[in-house]
């Protein structure tokens, strides 16, 4: 079955695949995760706000992002962000954003909708009595959130947040449609150059399987430890 396979192409290309492709994928994943968690937390607070207009606005944003395919959002922002940037600064020409920043903005805005729902569940999992007790001590809303509610919510939701980050790690491969040299894009370039599509895409699948399986195992271990602490 594998008699005609040229696995040497992997040995010749692994340094490029990991030093260029995987590095890009990891950078985009980490920055998108950090930005998505911050924006998602703000959206979660907006959804839980007693101000109805703010709550409806946050809910509308979350529902919109969750109802649109990610690849479509990638195309939207890749083509629209330069014009939006030009409109903001008043430039007559589209701003040169670049594929990385365009993809980063896209993933932050898209993943924030999912992190928002995770954080909203985490905030609601904290007993309401703790907020009332903190307010009784004279703490303001942001003090209560920053020192009492959010730390517990992050701890409760950490395994779910990390699971969503694994999904984000997989979704980053979609930037391939922008001809960006992420891990999949780098493998595609090698495959097209050497005419070895099967070998390269099989190697990519194995790497993703091993990486995501290992990360999922770590998340399960973390989940058991958090459950014991609670």
Query: Does residue 41 surpass a pLDDT of 60?
Result: yes
> pLDDT category, 1, cuts 50, 70, 90?
very low
Q: Which fold has domain 8-229?
A: MetI-like fold (1.10.3720)
**Domain range summary for the chain, segments of one domain joined by +:** 8-229
- Percent of the chain topping pLDDT 70: 96
118-146 pLDDT, tens digit per residue, is 988 888 887 777 777 877 877 877 788 87
Q: In b/e form, how buried is each residue of 167-191, taking b as 16+ CB within 10 angstroms?
A: ebbebbbbbbebebbbbbbbbbbbb
168-224 pLDDT, tens digit per residue, is 999 999 988 887 888 998 888 888 887 888 888 889 999 999 999 999 998 888 877
- Percent of the chain topping pLDDT 90: 33
146-162 pLDDT, tens digit per residue, is 778 888 888 878 888 88
> pLDDT category, 3, cuts 50, 70, 90?
low
Mean pLDDT to the nearest integer, 59-71: 91
Q: How far is CA 226 from the centre of its chain?
A: 22
| pTM, full prediction | 0.84
Q: What is the mean pLDDT of the chain?
A: 85
Rounded (10°) CA dihedral 138, 39, 154, 47: 60
Write out the two tokens for 113.
């909708």
Q: What is the largest CA-CA distance in the chain?
A: 74
Question: Helix, strand, coil % (nearest 5) of the chain?
Answer: 85, 0, 15
Write out the two tokens for 177.
């449609």
């Amino acid at each position: 079955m594998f008699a005609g396979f040229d696995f040497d192409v992997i040995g010749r290309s692994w340094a490029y695949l990991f030093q260029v492709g995987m590095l890009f994928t990891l950078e985009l994943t980490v920055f998108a995760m950090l930005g998505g968690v911050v924006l998602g937390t703000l959206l979660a607070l907006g959804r839980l706000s007693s101000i109805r207009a703010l709550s409806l606005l946050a809910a509308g944003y979350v529902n919109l992002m969750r109802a649109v395919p990610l690849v479509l959002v990638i195309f939207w922002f890749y083509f629209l962000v330069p014009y939006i940037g030009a409109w903001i600064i008043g430039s007559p020409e589209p701003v040169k954003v670049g594929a990385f920043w365009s993809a980063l903005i896209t993933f932050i805005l898209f993943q924030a909708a999912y992190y928002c729902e995770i954080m909203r569940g985490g905030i609601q999992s904290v007993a309401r009595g703790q907020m009332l007790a903190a307010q009784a001590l004279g703490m303001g809303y942001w003090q209560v959130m920053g020192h009492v509610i959010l730390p517990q919510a992050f701890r409760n939701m950490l395994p779910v947040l990390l699971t969503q980050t694994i999904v984000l790690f997989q979704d980053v491969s979609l930037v391939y449609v922008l001809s960006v040299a992420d891990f999949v894009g780098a493998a595609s370039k090698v495959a097209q150059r050497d005419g070895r599509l099967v070998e390269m895409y099989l190697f990519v699948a194995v790497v993703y399987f091993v990486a995501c399986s290992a990360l999922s195992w770590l998340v399960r271990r973390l989940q058991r430890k958090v459950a014991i602490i609670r």
